[in-house]
Amino acid sequence: MQVVSIINYKGGVGKTTLTANLGAYLAQRGKRVLLVDLDPQSSLTFSLFAPDSVHRPQRTLNKWFDTFVDGVPQQRLSEFVAVPAEVNGEVVTRGGFVGLIPAHIELINVDRTLLVSAGMQNEQGDAHIFRVRRSLADGLADPALGSYDFALIDCPPNFNIITQTGIVASDHILAPMSPDYLSTLGTQTLFSSIEKFAREFNEQAAVYGSPYKIAAKPLGVVFTKVEYRLGHPTSAHKYYMEYVQKSVPDVPVFANTLRDHAAFGKENPHGKPAILRLKPTDKVYVELMSMATEFLNRTETPTRKKRAVA
């Protein structure tokens, strides 16, 4: 399984929309995809289960974190996978599958409780935090999850400890970005912060004698919500796409982009990502298809195998 964190600490840039739709589309293409909702806002969960649905899953990620004792989960992550019926109804005939580790608003308190129980300051606290940071990686190494091709982790718009568990677990980092002034400010900081965090984590791993190292590489920036005029991106959006390429020259930028399209902004009462409701001839469907092909090509590069240990 390849693990990809979809991350940007800027809010509203299309992380969740991309995660849900890329995941559903990859499943439509026959892949087995595990979606992981790390955000208390639970938007990814609501893309697959309507908030008022009687089928809304009860075993959510915060409940998994609640089982932790000294930073170590007492239950297997695979026990928390929900199976969204609507999306799977559309993809199983092609051999694809979507599983979801759902979130709940209560996840908002987990950062605090994990840190409080760590005692924060002392060495014991550091070791505890190290174990928590590694927990999702260990959870995803559960053999019961071994049949998935991809895990796509939808990160919240921050860099807190829960987001850090996503980075630690990942082989790749995918950063959606809306090509506008505010969304693209701090692009360099985003990647340098992840790199710095990985370096520090790996140093700590050496201190604790853990062979587990962060292996996450930037898969790339992907532009979303691109506005078009007369068949081309608006000049403002074109400017910010070029600006991002220049500001992070070492980070790949996806050639394929996703346009601003009303289908993605709509309410989703049926638990079915927009891509499954669009026609394969729709421009935006073709865009996501091309982006997914690029995603598959880029993730085909063999990644260094991490070692998750107990």
Ligand X SMILES: Nc1ncnc2c1ncn2[C@@H]1O[C@H](COP(=O)(O)OP(=O)(O)OP(=O)(O)O)[C@@H](O)[C@H]1O
- Per CB under 6 A, residues contacting ligand X are 11-17, 39, 41, 43, 157, 224-225, 258, 260-261, 264-265
Single out the residue of 15, 104, 272, 306 in contact with Mg ion (rule: CB under 5 A): 15
Least distance between ligand X and beta carbon 244 (Å)? 16
The verdict on 183 binding Mg ion (CB under 5 A) reads no
Least distance between Mg ion and beta carbon 56 (Å)? 18
Q: Which two tokens stand for residue 107?
A: 């996840």
Q: Which two tokens stand for residue 299?
A: 């993730």
Least distance between Mg ion and beta carbon 37 (Å)? 9
Pick the stretch among 41-49, 62-70, 129-137, 198-206 that binds Mg ion (CB under 5 A). Answer: 41-49
Q: Which phi-psi region, left, alpha or beta, contains residue 266 (left: φ > 0; alpha: ψ -120 to 50)?
A: beta
Q: Which is nearer to Mg ion, 45 or 233 (CB)?
A: 45
Q: Which does 110 bind (CB under 5 to 8 A by kind): ligand X, Mg ion, none?
A: none
Least distance between ligand X and beta carbon 105 (Å)? 13
Which residues fall within 8 angstroms of residue 83, CB to CB, at 6 or more apart? 98, 99, 100
Torsion of CA 156, 162, 164, 166, to 10 degrees: -70
Least distance between ligand X and beta carbon 164 (Å)? 16
Q: What sign results for the dihedral spanned by CA atoms 95, 33, 221, 201? A: negative
- Taking CB atoms, the residue at the shortest distance from Mg ion is 16
Q: Which phi-psi region, left, alpha or beta, contains residue 69 (left: φ > 0; alpha: ψ -120 to 50)?
A: beta
DSSP E strand stretches across 75-149? 97-101
> What residue ranges bind Mg ion (CB under 5 A)?
15-16, 43
